[in-house]
Amino acid sequence: MTVIKVPDMHCEKCVERIQNLLQEEGLNFQVSLEQKTVTIDGCETCVKTALEALDDLGFTPEIG
């Protein structure tokens, strides 16, 4: 599993936008607003896809 920090995720609407897009990408993931993280359960390609999707939504994702 890979944890992606999303420091600019502030509200439930942010969580909803992230969930909708990552579901469309077919990824296995969990989103935590409290921790401001997205956890990806998958390969490097899945993580790269998630990072690109988060960036496309206007977030600044960071691995770690």
| DSSP states along 24-51 | HTT--EEEETTTTEEEE-S-HHHHHHHH
**Domain 2-63 part of CATH 3.10.105.10:** no
Q: Do the Cβ atoms of 15 and 9 come closer than 8 Å?
A: yes
CA distance 46 to 53: 10
- The pLDDT of residue 3 is 97
- Domain residues of the chain, as ranges? 2-63
Split at pLDDT 50, 70, 90, the class of 64 is confident
CA gyration radius for the chain?
10
pLDDT digit string, tens, across residues 7-62: 999 999 999 999 999 999 889 999 999 999 999 998 899 999 999 999 999 999 99
